[in-house]
Amino acid sequence: MKSKNYSRWLLVVIFAIAMAWVESAVVYYLRTMIDRIEPYQANPLPIFDGMGPVEMIREMATMIMLFTVGALAGSNWRARFGYSAIAFGVWDIFYYVFLRMICGWPHSLSDWDVLFLLPLPWWGPVWAPMAIALLMIAWGTLASQFEQADSIRQLRRLWLLNFSGVVIALYVFMADCIHARHGGVDAIRTVLPQHFSSAIFCGALLLMSAPVIHLGWQIGSPILRKNEVIAVEEVEERC
Rounded Cα distance between 239 and 237, Å, is 5
Amino acid 149: pLDDT: 57
pTM, full prediction: 0.82
Amino acid 76: pLDDT: 85
pLDDT-derived band of residue 95, with 50, 70 and 90 as boundaries?
very high
pLDDT tens digits, one per residue of 185-195: 788 888 888 88
pLDDT tens digits, one per residue of 126-156: 999 999 999 999 999 988 887 665 555 667 8
DSSP letters for 151-205: -HHHHHHHHHHHHHHHHHHHHHHHHHHHHHGGG-HHHHHT-------HHHHHHHH
Q: Does residue 81 register a pLDDT over 60?
A: yes
pLDDT-derived band of residue 33, with 50, 70 and 90 as boundaries?
confident
Q: Which amino acid is present at 132?
A: I
- Where is average pLDDT lowest: 66-75, 91-100, 127-136? 66-75
Rounded Cα distance between 38 and 226, Å, is 52
CA 192 to chain centroid: 23
Q: Does residue 73 register a pLDDT over 70?
A: yes
